[in-house]
């Protein structure tokens, strides 16, 4: 088994054992470990999204903003472009 995977597995087993000792129930300890894993994954996804949103706006976003008549600076980020597009589209009535 890969050393990195082995180390991660051992840390999960250790954490499971600690949780099991604290709560006295394997099922509850497992549920806690699952929730911790979800929280960790959500944090990773959030960090990735925040990093990606800081990138420059895509050509597709710029083209769409021009089509909508939105004026924007050359240094616009993906997140800022998305917000401007959303704002403009929300002003249209159905």
pLDDT (tens digit per residue) in 23-79: 999 999 999 999 998 999 999 998 888 888 789 999 999 999 999 999 999 999 999
pLDDT for residue 94: 58
Give me the DSSP letters along 35-69: HHHHHHHHHHHHHHHHHHHTSBPPHHHHHHHHHHT
Q: Is the pLDDT of residue 92 over 90?
A: no
Query: Does the predicted TM-score (pTM) go above 0.85?
Result: no
pLDDT for residue 63: 97
pLDDT for residue 83: 94
């Amino acid at each position: 088994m890969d050393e990195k995977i082995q180390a991660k597995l051992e840390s999960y087993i250790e954490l499971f054992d600690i949780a099991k000792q604290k709560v006295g129930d394997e099922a509850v300890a497992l549920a806690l470990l699952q929730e911790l894993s979800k929280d960790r994954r959500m944090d990773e996804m959030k960090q990735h999204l925040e990093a990606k949103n800081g990138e420059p706006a895509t050509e597709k976003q710029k083209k769409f903003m021009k089509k909508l008549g939105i004026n924007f600076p050359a240094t616009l980020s993906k997140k800022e472009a998305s917000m401007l597009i959303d704002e403009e589209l929300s002003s249209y009535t159905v």
